[in-house]
A and B are shown apart, each in its own frame.
Chain A
């Protein structure tokens, strides 16, 4: 059953998908940092307030993923920020996250060599988001 985008239920299913992925388990080996996803508000898309997703990822496992205010996600070691529509494009495979970062459509803050070293893990994490059935607030 579809869950509301970027809600607590979505976070739980996203975490489950990551932990089911053998690809992520291998590619994320050695990762020790928190990742924050900031989903910026787009009131005209029925997404009125920015949200933050705090991901506690450790050594190929998602220990916790929770949704809260954007300010919490901004405290993470790595922060990826984009408006709601961009994240939706990523989750529906319309936009490749790596390309999005190179084009500045997704803004990344954090140590670049580290994130580049884990490109495969971040690609698989993106794949995991696409496996969560989502009800989008703008209805499409």
Chain B
């Protein structure tokens, strides 16, 4: 419970992201910081939000994310309720997202609207759409996999 009293510290009990989960594994015994961050983010989202858990439990896809300005990436292998996070891009990906770090963070801030569709008309959404149009956000495999991308976005979004 936070307090608003003057001179007292802010603070609210938080779920930590370090707790063990049985549904997120790392392919490498030394996952990269980026792999741990995405794995941790998805684990926290799926644990806390039943609607994300439903998506997670049915999604089967291999999603690559490459961060162009740090030259690092991961492959997220979703397998109906299990996720394996690989360092780097693995073969056989359904979708590959390539963008700068800031854009990757924006993707996880997309709001989800009616019918589970990501919202592209608010400030964050417009920013993401503009980057897509300008080629600063590239999504390989987008056209045949729009539904998969939407599901991944829902699992990934912290909003």
A76: B residues at CB distance < 8 A:
11
A112: B residues at CB distance < 8 A:
17, 37, 40-41, 44, 158
Closest to B31 in A: A104
Q: Tell me the count of chain B residues lying within 8 A, CB to CB, of chain A.
A: 35
Q: Does A93 contact B (CB under 8 A)?
A: no
B70 and A63 form a contact (CB under 8 A):
no
Q: Does B109 contact A (CB under 8 A)?
A: yes
B10 and A32 form a contact (CB under 8 A):
yes
Q: Tell me the count of chain A residues lying within 8 A, CB to CB, of chain B.
A: 32
Nearest CB of A to B69, in Å:
6
B-contacting 9-mer, from A11-19, A40-48, A114-122? A114-122
B14 and A33 form a contact (CB under 8 A):
yes
Q: Does A4 contact B (CB under 8 A)?
A: no
By secondary structure, the B interface counts as loop
Nearest CB of B to A58, in Å:
4
Q: Tally of A-B residue pairs with Cβ under 8 A?
A: 92
Nearest CB of A to B8, in Å:
8
Nearest CB of A to B58, in Å:
21
* Distance, CA A54 to CA B34, complexed state (A): 26
A113: B residues at CB distance < 8 A:
41, 44-45, 48, 158
* Distance, CA A31 to CA B7, complexed state (A): 17
Q: Does A85 contact B (CB under 8 A)?
A: no
Residue pairs across A and B with Cβ atoms less than 8 A apart, 22 shown, are: A33-B10, A33-B11, A33-B12, A34-B10, A56-B10, A64-B7, A77-B14, A96-B101, A99-B69, A102-B33, A103-B34, A104-B34, A109-B18, A111-B17, A112-B17, A112-B41, A112-B44, A113-B45, A113-B48, A114-B14, A116-B105, A117-B159
**Residues of A in contact with B (beta carbons under 8 Å apart):** 31-34, 54, 56-58, 63-64, 76-77, 96, 98-99, 101-105, 107-114, 116-117, 119, 123
**Residues of B in contact with A (beta carbons under 8 Å apart):** 2, 4, 6-7, 9-12, 14-18, 32-34, 37, 40-41, 44-45, 48, 67, 69-70, 72, 101-102, 104-106, 108-109, 158-159
Q: Which 10 A/B pairs are nearest by Cβ-Cβ distance? A: A104-B33, A113-B158, A58-B10, A32-B2, A111-B14, A112-B41, A119-B105, A112-B17, A99-B101, A116-B158
